[in-house]
Amino acid sequence: MSTIMAPPFIYLLAALICPFLPSRLRALLLLGVPIFGLMVILAYPMGDHAVLSVVGFDLTFMRIDKLSLIFSIIFSIAAFLGGLYAWHVRDTIQQVATLAYAGSAIGGVFAGDLISLFLWWEGTAVASVFLIWARRTPAAYSTGMRYLIIQVLSGVLLLAGLLVHYNDTGSIAFEHLGLVSTGTFLIFLSFGIKCAFPLMHNWLQDAYPAATVTGTVILSSFTTKMAIYALARGYAGTEILIYIGAIMTLFPIFFAEIENDLRRVLAYSLNNQLGFMVVGIGIGTELAINGTAAHAFAHILYKSLLFMTVGAVLYRTGTSKASELGGLYKTMPVTMVCCLVGAASISAFPLFSGFVSKSLILDASASNGYYVVWLALLVASAGVMSHSGIKIPYFTFFAHDSGKRPAEAPIHMRIAMIVTAALCIIIGVFPGLLYALLPYEIEYQPYTVDHVLVQMQLLIFALLAFVFLMKKRIHPPEVRATNIDSDVVYRKWIPSLLPAVVESVVSLNLRARQVLLSIVGASCGAIERLARPGAPLARGWSVASMMFVVIIFMCAVLVLNLL
């Protein structure tokens, strides 16, 4: 096949022609391109394709193996479901950005070298920011700028690491890298930013809820999972990732519990779920990498489903604040049922997709002796049950009656949610369909007595804990508030310190100029005194004195040369 037929370029070509089409054809394009792209992907044999020679470098735009294949398949499915959910959107900017964003993400997982990876890496950053700016508000513009700066910083680190790595090894191949040099460490940091490592994470909670209703669904599918793929490709078995991932699963629990904006709650739980995948990459065994790939696949579906349901509520009511919702099951029953399916999936209930994917990672951590990490993952599983499995559907549909009686979601939104929910159930009931796509051959049975009992005990106790906290009024109340996270550093502390820093610099500059001017003035006065009639510099010098000075300078030059 020609390079232009490579799926990433199909998406980009569609993005180029999209603005010139009528609105209905643009919407059809968002449905047709993912289907056609997936068909093309499945038509490619395993191996390297679409290799171009550019200024002496061989760039591989289509490396097909089982790891890249499973990510490309779920990205194609997510692009289709996102296009179906956004059928009503007639905003050309959002439609073009969606096509370019999905195409860049698929290009990233097919990249066989670091240069093409960098190109797609930056492509996702530039395309995705328009899904935030599409809200066309001053707040969205500011959020988009913060998001773009952080995403471009990730790209700059990737480029710097690429250059250093190439200088050290002479290779641009995107294969297992490991933390072995400055270059690979810079690349690791680049991947970590997009993967929302602790203290690098808050761009996610800042940006995703700020996007449009449909844009948030699209954003939740690609950027972080492309980073997961990149980590799995380049840093599988890097032990520090186990502990980074364990922290990622735990710290969002607190923030999600106290957060009032349900889209921000989902953003924090997204961070939590990424932690499971990072743990799997850090362990690096075949079972663990299979678990990471399976969980990424399942996560894209159930997280998209949850963002779809909350987005439908936002679309109909104009708010996603838990304090302003409740009782919506009366008029939005389809959305409610789909939300419950997403909640059951993310909570890893048996017969739902999260159970058959998360079990792989839990077993990998226990079987490799990481018992503390295994315990942390269990605690994190209970936490996600509380804040996403219970809090999201409860406060949206079943808590105090808000008095709102919105219409059910539009028919295309309902179809997108129902299809996504069906996929979550199908994967949970027939896990072999998912396991057949995994990078390594697997003989694994998630539905053992031990697995089911442990998970059900965990879920039941998490449910009882939530009920106890609610009955005793200990659970954090849903109130309108802005919660402080790591973004307080660059959104509050640094701006508050900036005036004092500027004042100190100006004062120091003024003081330095005064000191310098006084030194220059004193020097000029001293020279003037020495040059007056009768002063040493005004007297005539004898030949002997001049010869003495010359000899001194020559000796000094000789000594300097000897040194």
pLDDT by residue for the chain (563 residues), tens only, comes to 556 678 999 999 999 999 999 988 999 999 999 999 999 999 999 998 888 888 888 888 999 999 999 999 999 999 999 999 999 998 999 999 999 999 999 999 999 999 999 999 999 999 999 999 999 899 899 999 999 999 999 999 999 999 999 999 999 999 999 999 999 999 999 999 999 998 888 888 888 899 999 999 999 999 999 999 999 999 999 999 999 999 999 888 888 888 888 899 899 999 999 999 999 999 999 999 999 999 999 999 999 999 999 999 999 998 888 888 888 888 999 999 999 999 999 988 899 999 999 999 999 999 898 999 999 998 888 888 877 888 888 888 888 787 888 899 999 999 999 999 999 999 999 999 999 999 998 888 888 888 788 888 777 877 777 777 667 666 666 656 566 666 666 667 677 777 878 888 888 888 888 898 888 888 887 777 766 766 666 666 667 777 877 888 888 888 877 76
Beta bridge partners, 113, equal 173
Is residue 552, in this structure, part of any structural domain at all?
no
The last residue of one of the domains, among 432, 453, 485, is: 485
Q: Same domain, yes or no, for 88 and 198? A: yes
Alpha helices (H) along 170-285: 182-194, 202-207, 213-235, 240-258, 262-283
Is residue 533, in this structure, part of any structural domain at all?
no
Distances from the Cα of 416 to the Cα of 141, 232, 310, 368, angstroms: 29, 30, 13, 39
CA–CA separation, 225 vs 547, rounded Å?
A: 80
Is residue 431, in this structure, part of any structural domain at all?
yes
Q: Same domain, yes or no, for 14 and 42? A: yes
Distances from the Cα of 281 to the Cα of 120, 133, 183, 233, 247, angstroms: 22, 33, 20, 9, 14
Is residue 491, in this structure, part of any structural domain at all?
no
Is residue 497, in this structure, part of any structural domain at all?
no
Do the beta carbons of residue 359 and residue 349 sit within 8 Å? no
What is residue 249's predicted lDDT score, i.e. its pLDDT? 92
> Which residue is it, tokens 């709650």?
265
Q: Same domain, yes or no, for 153 and 298? A: no
The last residue of one of the domains, among 485, 507, 535, is: 485
Q: Same domain, yes or no, for 89 and 200? A: yes
What is residue 416's predicted lDDT score, i.e. its pLDDT? 95
Do the beta carbons of residue 134 and residue 107 sit within 8 Å? no
What is residue 50's predicted lDDT score, i.e. its pLDDT? 85
What is residue 275's predicted lDDT score, i.e. its pLDDT? 93
Is residue 561, in this structure, part of any structural domain at all?
no
Distances from the Cα of 511 to the Cα of 255, 501, 514, 523, angstroms: 47, 15, 5, 18
DSSP character at residue 478 = -
Stated pTM of the model: 0.86
Q: Same domain, yes or no, for 183 and 277? A: no
Q: Same domain, yes or no, for 454 and 349? A: yes
Q: Same domain, yes or no, for 372 and 408? A: yes
Do the beta carbons of residue 353 and residue 428 sit within 8 Å? yes
Q: Same domain, yes or no, for 147 and 175? A: yes
Q: Same domain, yes or no, for 86 and 192? A: yes
Q: Same domain, yes or no, for 227 and 263? A: no
CA–CA separation, 17 vs 426, rounded Å?
A: 36
Domains identified in the chain, total number: 2
Is residue 494, in this structure, part of any structural domain at all?
no
Q: Same domain, yes or no, for 73 and 8? A: yes
* Type of residue at 313: V
Reference 274, options 146, 390, 361, 375; nearest CA is 361
Q: Same domain, yes or no, for 219 and 270? A: no
Residue 67 Cα to chain centre, angstroms: 19
Domain range for 219: 1-234
